[in-house]
Chains A and B, each alone.
Chain A
C-alpha cells in the first residue's frame, strides 16, 4: 500500500492509469463508505440551506414580540406637570409606606411586651 505522500507525488497521468487498472483489487466496503460519505455531505448541505431562513424567521419572531410588547404596554402619561406636585406625591407615597412599616413595628413591640409579661408571671 502506498503512503499519502507517495500518492500526492504521483502525476495526474499516473493517477488516471492506476484508476483504470482493473488488476488492482478494491476493498469490498469502499463503495459503501463512498456512498455514505456522499449522503452525509448531502445532508450537511441540506442543513446549511435551512440556516439562513431559520435565522430570518427567528429574528422576525423576536421583532414581532418586541413590537407587540411595546405597543401593548406604552408609557403612561405623567399625572403631574409640575415637579413640585410630583414631589409632594412621592412624599405622600413614602409616608404611606413608612406608616405601614411603623404599624408593623408597633405590632412587633406589642407582641414583645406580651411575651415579656408572660415570662414575668411564669
Chain B
C-alpha cells in the first residue's frame, strides 16, 4: 500500500514538473502584447522532412538530418520590459526544474546569452537558448531526439 502511495506521489510530481516546459511558456506568453512568437509542431517538422534534400541545402549548412529529429520549436521574443523580465524568470525556473546543463554563456556590456541542453551522452532531448539584449528577451526551445554530435557539429559549422 505504501508503495502505491509513493508511486502516485511520484507520478503527480512528474506531471507537475513536466507542466513547466517550452510549450507551457509559449502558451503563457505568445498572446501577450509586443511578443513575437513562433511555434512549429511535430506534424510540420514531418512535412519539412519530406522536402527534398536538394532544396534544403543552405549555402553553408544542411539542416536536413537534424530537422528529422526535431519534434517542436518554440520561439518567443519580448520587448515589453515587465513581461520580458517575467519570461526570463520563468525560463530560469524551468531550466532549474528540468535539470538542464549549461552549454555556453556569453556576456558583453549587459547582453547575456545562455544555451542549455538536456539529454544524455548521445542525444539531446531539449535545447534552450535565452538571450537578453537591452530590454528584449529572446527564448528559443528545440525539442526532439537530436543526435548530440550532429547538433554540436551543425552549430559549430554554422559559427565558422
Would you call B15 and A65 a contact (CB within 8 A)?
A: yes
Would you call A90 and B19 a contact (CB within 8 A)?
A: no
Number of interface residues of A (CB under 8 A): 41
Taking a contact as CB atoms closer than 8 A, the residue among A51, A73, A91, A100 that contacts B1 in the complex is A51
Measured between beta carbons, the chain B residues less than 8 angstroms from A94 are 61, 63, 154-155, 158
Would you call A104 and B104 a contact (CB within 8 A)?
A: yes
Would you give the shortest CB distance from A81 to chain B, in whole angstroms?
9
Would you call B37 and A69 a contact (CB within 8 A)?
A: no
Interface set, chain B 121-160, CB cutoff 8 A to A = 129, 131, 138, 140, 142, 154-156, 158-160
Known interface pairs A80-B44, A86-B44, A100-B115; A69-B15 also in contact (CB < 8 Å)? yes
Measured between beta carbons, the chain A residues less than 8 angstroms from B106 are 100, 103-104, 107
Interface residues, chain B, CB within 8 Å of chain A? 1, 4-5, 8, 11-12, 15-16, 18-19, 21, 23-24, 26-27, 30, 37-41, 43-45, 47-48, 50-51, 56, 58, 61, 63, 67, 70, 73-75, 104-106, 108, 113, 115, 129, 131, 138, 140, 142, 154-156, 158-160
Label chain B's interface by main secondary structure: mixed
Would you call A76 and B27 a contact (CB within 8 A)?
A: yes
Measured between beta carbons, the chain A residues less than 8 angstroms from B113 are 100, 103-104
Known interface pairs A61-B8, A62-B8, A90-B67; A72-B48 also in contact (CB < 8 Å)? no
Q: 0/1 per residue, A38-51, Cβ < 8 Å to B?
A: 00000000010011
Please, how many angstroms separate the alpha-carbon atoms of A72 and B26 in the complex? Answer: 12
Q: Please, could you name 13 A-B residue pairs with CB atoms under 8 Å apart, sorted by A?
A: A61-B8, A62-B15, A73-B19, A73-B23, A75-B23, A76-B30, A83-B48, A83-B50, A89-B40, A94-B63, A97-B158, A100-B113, A100-B131
